[in-house]
Chains A and B, each alone.
Chain A
């Protein structure tokens, strides 16, 4: 939950279910019709509205992080139990109550999990 991480943003307008929605073998989004389908979350600041689906999703987040396939940090519009618990056990800085509309995929973003803050250090085209 805590710690500061800086990485490239990967932004989705859709909720993510870690159980069934992300391939634990390679960290790619596999949920069909998802706007990030086929994209790998490894090492990104993953920005999405909130999680959904089974609480087993928390364990999937742990498993991804152990294999080095997890996101560097997570920014949510609203927190939900699956992602909150997953971020704790996987030791991924995660913040919520953030207006995610300001982030674009490719922005360089710094996440401060202890303070609950996120800043865009560099815009994708800037």
Chain B
């Protein structure tokens, strides 16, 4: 790899251990994947925040890095944590909270913003064709496919290293020639809701591996709904972007058709609970947008959450503040708007939650392993019917 004179100084340790360690990570990954140089990035998004999924392993490294004076050079956001600052904090034991706060503290010392969201694109606009280093696979697919921003699927450590150096190696879809679709997907049925779009993603992720599909047959899909496709396609596959619409030219002639049976079967395979009565009805994977908060608030206003059922809507603290009036309406029903937390990486099993109903295919996919819970997958309206009386 070609390094500038300043990059060589960092590499040789003249700018301290923290910078040296971080640039070594970037250079080694660049060598591994055929990059010829480092390129500047506009932002980074770091995953690996929840104490529940991380355990104690990273705390020591993060602290050592912060002690050595590491500081991010670009705007860097953080993924959700394992609890929110109000509702779950009151319910969980101290020994689960302290290490989580310690992780956040170390990130804060290095200048990462406490955004705590999987949808950093609702906080800051990204310019078209700008380069980024994002972990969090759902946001990576959304950035490349919907926002036209360019990012590989980073891991937590490599995104952090990129943030501290302010650069990333230019391999993968940081190169224009690697961003062209190489398979055509024709959706041969009308997808009716966000859950069916998620099911399409689960199916395509399994089928396509790391291919870039040009997806035809999804007219007038809202950005809120297409977010489910982004999250799901990254859950089961290594695809980092897709193109929507019919004007795209593909590199190869491979074509795949997806029909209503395949969508139906995918939903049935994910919706495996032995009961129709969920302990938790959960919306907000990925984190809810302002418009989703508005829609949920309108649909639940004046209703009451069923006794014995939890109703959670997850979002960022940023959106929660912006949508304060909607959040109030949702909480008046007995439901909870949880900010900064992700249900999938939270301690649901410690709250006795054994069945989770959700409109998110990604959550339904992970709930059995990460939450030790059975999943029910259904669109928003059906989720609300299960959560509310009358």
> Are A62 and B28 in contact (CB-based, < 8 A)?
no
A55 to B23, CA, bound (A): 17
B58: chain A residues at CB < 8 Å are: 56, 59, 62-63
Q: For the complex, is A82 an interface residue (Cβ under 8 Å from B)?
A: yes
Q: Which of the residues B24, B53, B158, B161 comes within 8 Å of A56, measured between beta carbons?
A: B53
> Are B57 and A56 in contact (CB-based, < 8 A)?
yes
Chain A residues within 8 Å of chain B by Cβ, number = 19
B57: chain A residues at CB < 8 Å are: 19, 24, 56, 59-60, 62-63
B24: chain A residues at CB < 8 Å are: 1, 88
Known: A1-B24, A1-B28, A56-B54. A89 touches B155 (CB 8 A): no
A19: chain B residues at CB < 8 Å are: 57
B157: chain A residues at CB < 8 Å are: 55, 58-59, 85, 89
Q: For the complex, is B182 an interface residue (Cβ under 8 Å from A)?
A: no
A63 to B57, CA, bound (A): 5
Q: Which of the residues A24, A59, A89 comes within 8 Å of B25, measured between beta carbons?
A: A89
> Are A85 and B25 in contact (CB-based, < 8 A)?
yes
> Are B32 and A84 in contact (CB-based, < 8 A)?
yes
Q: For the complex, is B118 an interface residue (Cβ under 8 Å from A)?
A: no
> Are A59 and B61 in contact (CB-based, < 8 A)?
yes
- Look across to chain B and name the residue whose beta carbon is closest to the beta carbon of A87: B28
Interface bits B45-73 vs A (CB < 8 Å: 1, else 0): 00110000111111011000000000000
A84 to B158, CA, bound (A): 10
Q: For the complex, is A3 an interface residue (Cβ under 8 Å from B)?
A: no
Q: For the complex, is A68 an interface residue (Cβ under 8 Å from B)?
A: no
A55 to B157, CA, bound (A): 7
Q: For the complex, is B135 an interface residue (Cβ under 8 Å from A)?
A: yes
A56 to B49, CA, bound (A): 10
> Are B156 and A55 in contact (CB-based, < 8 A)?
yes
B29: chain A residues at CB < 8 Å are: 81, 84-85
Known: A81-B158, A88-B25. A62 touches B60 (CB 8 A): yes
Which secondary structure dominates chain A's binding surface? helix
Q: For the complex, is A123 an interface residue (Cβ under 8 Å from B)?
A: no
Interface bits A35-74 vs B (CB < 8 Å: 1, else 0): 0000000000000000000111011101100100000000
> Are B155 and A63 in contact (CB-based, < 8 A)?
no
> Are A24 and B48 in contact (CB-based, < 8 A)?
no
A66 to B64, CA, bound (A): 11
Report A82 CB to chain B, min CB distance, Å. Answer: 7
- Look across to chain B and name the residue whose beta carbon is closest to the beta carbon of A63: B57
> Are B28 and A84 in contact (CB-based, < 8 A)?
yes
Q: For the complex, is B21 an interface residue (Cβ under 8 Å from A)?
A: yes
Q: For the complex, is A30 an interface residue (Cβ under 8 Å from B)?
A: no
> Are B158 and A63 in contact (CB-based, < 8 A)?
no
A98: chain B residues at CB < 8 Å are: none
A82 to B29, CA, bound (A): 10
Q: For the complex, is A79 an interface residue (Cβ under 8 Å from B)?
A: yes
Known: A56-B48, A56-B156. A63 touches B25 (CB 8 A): no
Interface bits B153-178 vs A (CB < 8 Å: 1, else 0): 00111100100000000000000000
B21: chain A residues at CB < 8 Å are: 88-89
- 21 pairs, A vs B, C-beta closer than 8 Å: A1-B24, A24-B56, A54-B53, A54-B155, A55-B155, A56-B48, A56-B156, A58-B157, A62-B60, A63-B57, A63-B58, A84-B25, A84-B28, A84-B29, A85-B28, A85-B29, A85-B155, A85-B161, A88-B24, A89-B21, A89-B61
Residues of A within 8 A of B (CB): 1, 19, 24, 54-56, 58-60, 62-63, 66, 79, 81-82, 84-85, 88-89
Given contacts A60-B55, A62-B57, 4 further A-B contacts (CB under 8 A): A55-B47, A58-B156, A85-B158, A89-B61
Sorted from nearest, which 9 A-B pairs have the closest CB atoms?
A55-B155, A59-B58, A63-B57, A59-B57, A62-B61, A60-B57, A58-B157, A85-B157, A88-B24
